[in-house]
Amino acid sequence: MNLILLGPPGAGKGTQAKILAKKFDIPQISTGDILRGAVKEQSPMGIKAKGYMDSGSLVPDEVVVGIVKERLTKPDCSKGFILDGFPRTVIQADALKLTLGDMGKAIEHVISIVVDKEELLARITGRRTCRSCGKGYHLSFDPPKKVGVCDECGGELFQRDDDSEATMRNRLDVYEKQTAPLIDYYGHDSLLRTIIGTGSIDEIKQNILTGIKDGTV
């Protein structure tokens, strides 16, 4: 099964992608994770991508498309895959369609997770990460026992540059302008399954599975 998860930053794509990957025994391909890893390693691609990521702008297509192409050729994608965070533009969607066509594959379902903008801001700006071990927290939903201190290792908690309110608002604006058109793109091909991204994680998962089973919008 070849799936795409669409949705603005903070919509819960990553969480649901992990659940679906386990259920269907297919890999989750998150371009965000790949790019952040490259930034951490200070690779040439990572250095190039960092400026865009810190400002909330999209990483250039030539960087992202190349990463995804390489990933889809790996053996663990033979039974299917879940794309989380890609494509982000219609240009990338066209490139993906061509790439998959050359491989004799196609996208079967596009899950669009919809969440109110103010809810998204509350979700993202409350996130904190441990500098030492990388454990994540949320000031409202999953706070540490001691303010600013990691429960696991005692490390300092910080807010990532791309989780600040200013950057987040810019990221949402970028999404609306450049990524939201994908809803029309995949809707035209009858691949779109629209899911409301509020409620419990299990409720959202069940709604996604129903959309996949029924092939409904």
Least Cα distance to 169 among 118, 209, 128 occurs for 118
CA distance 204 to 199: 7
87 upstream amide cis, omega within 30 of 0: yes
Q: Answer whether 89's CB lies under 8 Å from 182's CB.
A: yes
Q: Which of 50, 171, 193, 205 is catalytic?
A: 171
Q: Which of 36, 105, 160, 169 is catalytic?
A: 160
Q: Which of 88, 123, 193, 205 is catalytic?
A: 88
The two tokens of residue 199 are 């409620």
Q: Which of 13, 50, 71, 128 is catalytic?
A: 13
Active-site residue 88, yes or no?
yes
Sign of CA dihedral 162, 131, 68, 115: negative
Q: Which of 127, 128, 193, 205 is catalytic?
A: 127
Active-site residue 127, yes or no?
yes
Facing residues of 4 across strands? 83, 110
Q: Burial, 61: exposed, middle or buried (Cβ in 10 Å; 0-12, 13-18, 19+)?
A: middle
Active-site residue 171, yes or no?
yes
Half-sphere exposure of 136 (CA within 13 A, CB side): 9
User: Which sequence positions are flagged as catalytic?
Assistant: 13, 88, 127, 160, 171
